[in-house]
Structure 1
Amino acid sequence: MRSLKHKVVVLTGASSGIGRATALALAAKGAKLHLVARRQRLLESVCVEARALGCSATPHALDVRDTDAYSLMADQVHAEHGRVDVLINNAGVGVTKSFMETSADDWEWIFDTNLHAVVHGIRMFLPTMISQGDGTIVNVASLAGVMANTLAAYSASKFAVVGMSESLLLEYGSKGLKVVVVCPGVIDTEIATASIVANRANSASGPSLQKLLAAYGAPPELVARDIVKALHRPRFMVPTPMHATVLRGIHRMVPELARMLIRRLSQEADGG
């Protein structure tokens, strides 16, 4: 789309990290924002920041796993605007545990947020986009969704998002739908620090992963920048930032070298 001004955008996971950075980047472009997150106080703070940039921003404090609350929010967006131009599925969680430490409950929790909530959100807004003959769905997956890391449940959920997204494009691309999968690499966000992820992990690797992200993680603003670029010029796969593009290229050309690099990073995250 040429301009984001006055475009209706629904963004999940908007209270911090990539979500917050993306909200502010879209606000600077004049979008009409509907921001979704669990933490009401932080979410309202982001809305204040967004409005200061001259756009409208409405907070929706809910857990994306709550299908009733999510459906009610979607109804409110449709009632207010009669359309939705962009859906950005950014909310996500992870567990910093080894495969054998990761419980059945952990697997269910991760997939409920990282995949099932994404599917539910798409089901809420896709019919409107199809009837409009235009719309963009951005699914924030991960570099771990195209080249695995040692967090099996997280990686599996993100692989599922990438595959589902490609299927969605194949099915509805001819009807005006644009689908973008954003695959961030190592980003310095709360996913292993202040969020529920670190608290739930209860693993020795948690603090080491925090240090790794602080040392090597790119700022979330770089991901937000690339999301905005992809909205202007949609393409299906968007690895971001540059190190993710490089690692994906290595993985495609020399898979074992990429695995060696991931193992080294994983060992450092494990404190090894």
Structure 2
Amino acid sequence: MKLHGQVAVLTGAASGIGRATALALAQRGCHLALADIDTAGLADTAAAAAAQGVPVSQHRLDVASRDAVAALPTAVLAQHGRVSLLVNNAGVALGGSFDQVAEADFDWLMDINFHGLVRMTRAFLPLLRQQPVARIVNISSVYGLIAPPEQTAYAAAKFAVRGFSHALRHELAGSTVGMTVVHPGGVATNIARRARLPADAAPADVQARLALAEKMLRLSPERAAATIVRGIEADRARVLVGGDAHFIAALERLMPVRYWSVLARLLPA
């Protein structure tokens, strides 16, 4: 896919992988419709992207809102006239064991990380089909390849993203719309610090979780974005981001049931 002159819609653009991917696309001459619920961060990303000399629009969006997602294509068309790339990146995190996590919090995560992605795909697929070359990029996770303890909701959503993406790719075979599913490893974003935690979580446990996350989330968002954008340009069906993602993918193939017996021993102290 030649990105210069394409029009991309990107969710979760205010920070982290979303912001870095927006800037990487702008550097390649891609026009951008950026969406996020964080208006301050969104405005900052939009300004940085526009400084690259490409048209940029910004749209406050909660992907959990059916009405907001349904209205977005009209707003994007009004400013850009077409859409050829959809990057479903918006996501949140939730810690704690399944017994600790409230049902409302579990549903909150699923509504953003999975149902929001499906809503965006449903809303924009008709526009993507109108283009001679188009692509959907869905951000899953290494937790869409493996399922660690205390990540029941997050893993459930990211496995669902993976399955949805593969099935839809098969349905789109022979059309002008391609599909890429992305599995980032540990990327140094604020997602762990912004995660919801159980109401009864002990402060010491919270600090221990954050300390572990700091050790595991090491790849810069910029390097992650560079890998993602190269995958888009190469029309790849699957993109693994980071050496840890490649290792985890290989281990899961070798030990599809017992991988955690190895990974648990490799966790930082």
Answer yes or no: same fold by TM over 0.5. yes
Rounded to whole Å, the distance in 1 between the matches of 2:244 and 2:100 is 29
| CA gap 1:209/1:188 in 2 versus in 1, 3 angstroms | farther
**Residue pair 1:14, 1:36 contacting (<8 A) in 2 also:** yes
Change (3 A) 1:260 1:24: same
Equivalences, count:
264
Alignment of 1:43-82 (within 5 A): 43-82=42-81
Percent identity, please: 36
Quickly say closer, same or farther: Cα 1:66–1:265, change in 2 above 3 A.
Answer: farther
Q: Displacement, 1:264?
A: 4.0
1:236 alignment partner AA:
A
Q: TM-score, normalised by structure 2?
A: 0.92
Structure 1 CA distance for aligned equivalents of residues 266 and 101 of structure 2: 20
2:163, 2:182 → 1: CA distance? 13
Tell whether 2:154 aligns with 1:177. Answer: no
Task: Tell me, in whole angstroms, the C-alpha distance in 2 between the residues paired with 1:94 and 1:134.
Answer: 33
2:159 aligned with 1:159:
yes
Written as runs of structure 1 = structure 2, the 5 A alignment for 1:246-257 is 246-255=247-256
Give the drift of 1:208. Answer: 2.5
Amino acid at match of 1:46: T
In 2, the alpha carbon distance for the partners of 1:13 and 1:265 equals 31
- 2:232 partner SS: helix
Cα displacement (A) at 1:146: 1.4
In the TM superposition, residue 98 of structure 1 has moved relative to its aligned partner by 0.8
Do the aligned partners of residues 59 and 81 (structure 1) sit closer, same or farther apart at CA in structure 2, a change above 3 Å counting? closer
Structure 1: which 5+ residue stretches go unaligned? Answer: none
1:12 CA drift (Å): 0.4
Q: 1:7 & 1:145 partners in 2: Cα distance?
A: 29
Q: Is residue 11 from structure 1 mapped to residue 40 from structure 2 by the alignment?
A: no
Q: Which runs of 4 or more aligned residues in structure 1 lie more than 6 Å from their structure 2 counterparts after TM superposition?
A: none
Counterpart of 1:99? Answer: 98
Q: Kindly report the root-mean-square deviation, in angstroms, between the aligned alpha carbons of the 2 structures.
A: 1.8
Unmatched runs of 5 consecutive residues or more in structure 2 = none
Change (3 A) 1:34 1:163: same
Structure 1 residues 21 and 209: alpha-carbon distance in aligned structure 2, compared to 1, 3 A threshold: farther
Alignment of 1:1-272 (within 5 A): 1=1, 3-150=2-149, 151-193=151-193, 195=194, 197-198=195-196, 200-202=197-199, 203-204=201-202, 205-217=205-217, 218-255=219-256, 258-264=259-265
TM-score by length of 1: 0.91
Structure 1 position 113, deviation (Å): 0.3
3-state secondary structure, aligned to 2:33: strand
SS in 1 for 2:58: strand
